[in-house]
Amino acid sequence: MTTPHDNNEELFPVVDEEGNILDAATRGECHNGSMKLHPVVHLHVMNSRGELFLQKRPLWKDIQPGRWDTSVGGHVDLGENVDRALRREAREELGITEFVPEQLYRYVFESTRERELVYSFRTVYEGEIRPSEELDGGRFWTAEEIRTNLGQGVFTPNFEDEWRRLESVLQKDASERV
């Protein structure tokens, strides 16, 4: 059996910070330090107890192998809109097909290798989650478990950055319920 790998020839849209398509580039070009801004989708899958499902990235990934990351995360392909990409990635990564996404925010994430325009959503989901071979499994984490492991090399830098944003939304929701 061959080891799975990312397709470096896959085409992504290159966008401005508003999401307008300017050009196209391959995955390899977007991840080689060119800093070409390309769109991605994130879905935070929570259960009714407020726990957050995180996926474990497999060791063969070209970015952040072996680290825990956002429930669902993936690139928007050239010719695909954000909603379609979100639903495709949720199906491909976790086997989730029926969910109601709530858009949270959009922001630019920058690492030493790439720049992403991140469209973040959340959903509460109580159905079966079946991580695919694209992942090295996954599980639900409490907010306390996440806080305890921040800065320890357990999570991807992107997830740690996004956790601060998500935690702010969750705290706002909790204060509004009081």
Which residues are 43's β-sheet partners? 72, 121
Helix, coil or strand: residue 61:
coil
- 98 lies in a domain? yes
Chain segment 135-176, per-residue pLDDT in tens = 999 999 999 999 999 999 999 998 999 999 999 998 888 788
Residue at 73 is within a domain? yes
Domain CATH code at residue 173: 3.90.79.10
- Considering the chain, what is the average pLDDT of its residues? 92
Is residue 16 predicted with pLDDT exceeding 70? yes
Query: Are 12 and 76 spatial neighbours (Cβ–Cβ below 8 Å)?
Result: yes
> Is 6 part of any domain?
no
Query: pTM for the whole thing?
Result: 0.90
Residue-number span of the structural domain to which 51 is assigned: 11-177
